[in-house]
Amino acid sequence: MNTKTQWIITTASAMIFGCASGAFIYLQYSSQQSRQIGRIEAENSFLKDQVSHLKQDNTALRLKVDESTAANNLHLVEASHFKSQLQQRDTQLAQANRQIEQLSGQAQRFAALADSSKRCAPDREEIVELQKELAGRSFASLGHPPDAQRKAEINALLDQHHKTLQTCLSAKA
């Protein structure tokens, strides 16, 4: 084998390895985002169930407090005990509501991030291809670096695609 053939084989191997690595990293990132969103949704569901149970407990405790106060003033000690439980439940309910709000915000941010990542993937791929061509590693260039005019065109296209990618990433879902 001559050096040119070895170089072509080495370049092709590097390109295949680079593409496979990029795809693997992207799939790993997407999988991680999906797991995080799933975890947050599970925690959110658990907290919603907990809030529902706390509301039911709260309602039941309110009824007990009202009945015992109306029935007999001798049960003031018992009524104060129920009131303290009610306050604890209200505190827990407020904490659970704050956690739900935080987790809902996180879930929305992760969903928006995952959505923008999917929407912006073509721009990322185009930037990678242009960078490969600029370095002479693309399939189209066959290992030969581009001439000065083509480099200028590629740099202009890279600037344009970077701006498009920034706009895509900063856009709300």
Mean pLDDT (10-residue bins), the chain, 173 residues: 80 80 79 82 89 91 82 71 88 85 78 68 80 68 70 86 81 58
Residue 3 lies in a domain: no
Instruction: Specify whether 32 is located in the same domain as 92.
Output: yes
Domain that holds residue 151: 121-173
**Dist CA 18 CA 8 (whole Å):** 15
Taking the model in full, what pTM does it have?
0.34
Please check whether residue 102 lies inside any domain of the structure: yes
pLDDT at 173: 47
Answer whether residue 99 is part of any domain.
yes
Residue 8: inside a domain = no
> Rounded to the nearest 5 degrees, what angle is found at the Cα of 170, between the Cα atoms of 150 and 119?
70
Question: What pLDDT is recorded for position 53?
Answer: 92
- Kindly state the helix (H) or strand (E) to which residue 157 belongs, with its residue range: helix 148-170
**To the nearest 10°, the Cα dihedral for 8, 9, 13, 19?**
40
75 inside domain: yes
CA distance 68 to 78: 8
